[in-house]
Structure 1
Amino acid sequence: VYDAVCIEDLNMQGMSQSLNFGKSVYDNGWGIFTSLLDYKLSEQGKKLIKIDKWYPSSKTCSCCGKVKEELSLSERMYQCECGFICDRDVNAARNIKEQGMLVLA
């Protein structure tokens, strides 16, 4: 049982325009999902924590905290100088959770 859910505050309109994803990004219903999630959590007295879209969750090592200067979208594994290796999405999720915990503290 959790008291909060942490997500990135994504700008889907900006992503669809800048990354050439077009309509596919718009059609995913992210805004509806986050609204419903917030509604359901608040019904239970729980919080939805949105982490700033500019926080470098994918580029930050969830082990040592070092931020990579460059990380292309084609790099699916995150590898840090400290020796930490992880799927980039799992790494980002860990960082988002950590930022959410700081908000709750």
Structure 2
Amino acid sequence: MARVHARIADRRRDFLHKLSTRLVRENQTIVIEDLNVSGMLRHRWLARAISDASWSDLRRMLEYKAAWYGRDIIATNRWFPSTKTCSACGFRVDVMPLGTQEWTCRCGAVHDRDLNAAKNILAAGLAVMACGDEVRPTRHRLARHSSQSPFPG
């Protein structure tokens, strides 16, 4: 049983090494999301999948390999609402259940949850590179009792 577990761990580590090396070699700048993994492990349906993914090992490998190759790693703020923000217009949805995989913004853009988050994380990372730390896009919201558009005419 110990040999089986060791073989699985070796395969996972080998995959992470190959993936991190490929990402660092092919990209000058890599933007990652600083996730609260310990908090996510408390979610009973996702805990096993998250712990099996070895996200902390991947991040560690990306960081030291980026230093070797002279690449930039940018970690976005963990509280940045990458999933709930429309990558087309910047509108932010107040609540998005975990089971929602696709959503439509009020601007008409249809988003896959993960692809939309990836676009927003990249944009936030590039903004951090250009302007400095803690750059966040503007939030557009409608007032609860107002019929005015949040966008200037």
TM-score, with normalisation over the residues of structure 2? 0.64
Counterpart position of 2:33: 8
**Residue 74 of structure 1: how far off its partner (Å):** 1.3
Report the secondary structure of 2:100's partner residue: coil
Higher RCO, Cα 8 Å, sep 6+? 1
**Residue 78 of structure 1: how far off its partner (Å):** 2.5
Counterparts of 1:34 and 1:94, CA distance in 2: 19
**Residue 46 of structure 1: how far off its partner (Å):** 0.7
TM-score, with normalisation over the residues of structure 1? 0.92
Q: Kindly indicate which of the two structures has a greater share of residues assigned to strand.
A: 1
Counterparts of 2:62 and 2:55, CA distance in 1: 10
Counterpart position of 2:136: none
Counterpart position of 2:53: 28
Counterpart position of 2:13: none
Report the secondary structure of 1:27's partner residue: helix
Counterparts of 1:43 and 1:16, CA distance in 2: 31
Q: Kindly indicate which of the two structures has a greater share of residues assigned to helix.
A: 2
Counterparts of 2:68 and 2:128, CA distance in 1: 20
Counterparts of 1:69 and 1:58, CA distance in 2: 11
Deviations 1:20-54 (A, max 9, x none): 23343223211110000111111111111111111
**Residue 77 of structure 1: how far off its partner (Å):** 0.7
**Residue 86 of structure 1: how far off its partner (Å):** 1.8
Percent identity (aligned): 37
Counterpart position of 2:115: 90
List alignment gaps of at least 5 residues for structure 2.
1-25, 131-153
**Residue 70 of structure 1: how far off its partner (Å):** 1.1
Counterparts of 2:77 and 2:111, CA distance in 1: 22
Report the secondary structure of 2:81's partner residue: coil
Moved over 4 A (4+): none
Q: 2:89 aligns with which of 57, 64, 69?
A: 64
- Over alpha carbons, which structure has the higher Rg? 2
Counterparts of 2:28 and 2:40, CA distance in 1: 30
Q: How many residues get paired?
A: 104
Q: Is 2:110 the counterpart of 1:74?
A: no
Q: 2:79 aligns with which of 45, 54, 61?
A: 54
Counterparts of 2:39 and 2:57, CA distance in 1: 17
Which region of structure 1 is more displaced relative to structure 2, 3-12 or 61-70? 3-12
